[in-house]
A and B are shown apart, each in its own frame.
Chain A
Amino acid sequence: MNATLPLSPQVFAILSGLIEERTGIRYSEADRELLAERVSPRAIERGFDSLLDYYYCLRYDADAGAELALLVDSLVVNETYFFREADALRVVRDLVLAPQIEAGRRPRLWSAACSTGEEPLTQAMLLDAEGLLTRTELVASDISARALERARRGFYRGRALRALPDGVIGRWLFPEDDGVRAASRLLQAVDYRRVNLLDCAAVEALGTFDVILCRNALIYFGDERIKRVVATLSARLAPNGCLVIGVAESLLRFDTALACQEHRGVFVYRKTEP
């Protein structure tokens, strides 16, 4: 059933507030109908016929954490594909990871909103092409349990493959049924975790990184959250480490402690001070 339950401005205010507080994802008043459409199926599934009752469930039920995780799965935009904005991934490989490896270290890269895994797997392919994959540690995380489950499965089809360059199929991706399966050594090279970027303690527990990719996730956040998340991520960067955001995103309006640098037409945010 696809019914949408009514969402009054008051209930919208508290529900969207709760969602923003827990996930960072911001809904403006103009998105009221959209939010009602996205939340209603979960509320109905839980046996509620009012979104206020469902809000109280998210707020007070003994099971609230699990319910919120399921709701998040239906709210997030998981849109991603292989080799999306791949120039940036080549730049961080050549600029940051390769020099570290040459210096005898094992650099760490974190894909912080990895969705269904196309981004970390693309990075893994680009590293593998230069013989650097086994010498780099790749961590990938997302808030969405459902997206991570698909990432771990490593099976892709359709739009995920829309920008594949030649030479990828047969080397890193292998046809299977109506899609492709990622090579197991790529999948094994990525350590998938479920991490909410707003959860400072969980982020801190990941350690420090030479590269953090946080692409096309902050666009759904309000400015205050972006500032906080960027500060948390900056604290996780090793000296000279790089934060990469999406090409359509910019941090220039928040004065961050990171230096914006351009390399081969790609903008990265660099930690120049320890």
Chain B
Amino acid sequence: MSGHASARARATACRTLGQFPTHPEINVRLREALSDVDPWVRYYACQALGRIRDEFSTSAIVALLRDNSGQVQVAALEALARLSGPEPLQALTLASASEDPDIQRAALVALGISKRHEARPILQRALGAGEPATRLVALSALAELGFSDDLRPLIGLTRDPDAAVRIAALGFLSSEVGQAASSALLDLLDHEPTRDDLVVALARPIAGRADTILAALQSAMEPLAVALVAALSRMNSVEAARALESALLSPNDASRRAAAAALSARGELAEKPLLERAALTDRDPEVRRLAAAVFTQ
């Protein structure tokens, strides 16, 4: 490829070739491009060979970790993520301790892409990195592997000083299926019932979550009950609507008050008979007042 076109055209060619299914002729060209004079050609050649998992290139790509151009080093790391064997893993592990934060982050991203179980402890350690961007990258890479049963690192990061890290951690936690994640979110909300981002996270319509919230509503006190009901109101699913209606029949006053206020505010036709009954028969005057509000609006 080199010698024919301009560096930019050669780089574009490499970038494009990586998007095609493997063809022996293409692979040979891309391997040649690893030693092109232009760093961006080497960059895209690395990316492309990684994407097509060209195991013949492993050694050449490992050698590019010492390339003079930083961008070639990071592209080599990304490529190694997709190549098997001990050599890539060793190289990625080494680079994950690099002093250059971009090299370190590229290695962490690559470890995530590799989905190798050996990557887990390395990524978990990087969650404690000083730079927020590095913690964020490590967290996203860990999400590629899945958090398995250990949600503790994720829970810790929901209180990270950096907003982007917090948002990402909550995003992952809220989309984890299973009881453990729901319980963790409930626990967090119990400590900080006024945190809107926790309510939003809890409101993700994950199977079984509405029931978990409803169970918590049986004993929740005032600010928490309001937050739990707010999560159910946001959830926008059949289960959530049913849970809200059940909350209006709960023996817990705080839950019934929160549910009456929320259901009244929604003003759904189907929920009116239930509200009417509460407005007339609930033992708590506050619930009766809140439930009646829907008819005076």
Contacts of A59 in B (CB 8 A): 70-71, 102
- Check: A269 CB closer than 8 A to any chain B CB: no
Partner of B136, one of A10, A49, A60, A62: A10
- Check: A17 CB closer than 8 A to any chain B CB: yes
Tell me if A's interface is mostly helix, strand, loop or mixed.
Answer: helix
Contact with B along A20-60 (1 / 0, CB 8 A): 00000000110000000000000000010100010011011
Say yes or no: A9-B71 contact (C-beta < 8 A), given A14-B105, A47-B11, A56-B102.
no
Contacts of A29 in B (CB 8 A): 163-164, 167
Contact with A along B1-36 (1 / 0, CB 8 A): 000000010011001000000000000000000000
Q: How many A-B residue pairs have CB under 8 A?
A: 52
B136 near A28 with CB under 8 A, answer no
**Chain B residues close to A by CB (< 8 Å):** 8, 11-12, 15, 39-40, 43, 69-71, 74, 102, 105, 109, 131-133, 136-137, 140, 163-164, 167-168
Contacts of B168 in A (CB 8 A): 9
Q: Which of B15, B43, B133 has the most CB of A within 10 A?
A: B133
Bound-complex Cα distance A13 to B107 (A): 16
Partner of B102, one of A9, A14, A57, A62: A14
Nearest neighbor of A12 in chain B, beta-carbon distance = B164
- Check: A61 CB closer than 8 A to any chain B CB: yes
A57 near B71 with CB under 8 A, answer yes
Nearest neighbor of B9 in chain A, beta-carbon distance = A47
Bound-complex Cα distance A226 to B43 (A): 37
In the complex, 26 of the A-B residue pairs with CB atoms within 8 angstroms, ordered by the A residue number, are: A9-B136, A9-B164, A9-B167, A9-B168, A10-B105, A10-B136, A10-B137, A12-B164, A14-B102, A14-B105, A14-B133, A17-B133, A29-B163, A29-B164, A47-B12, A53-B43, A57-B71, A59-B70, A59-B71, A60-B69, A60-B70, A60-B71, A60-B74, A60-B102, A61-B39, A62-B69
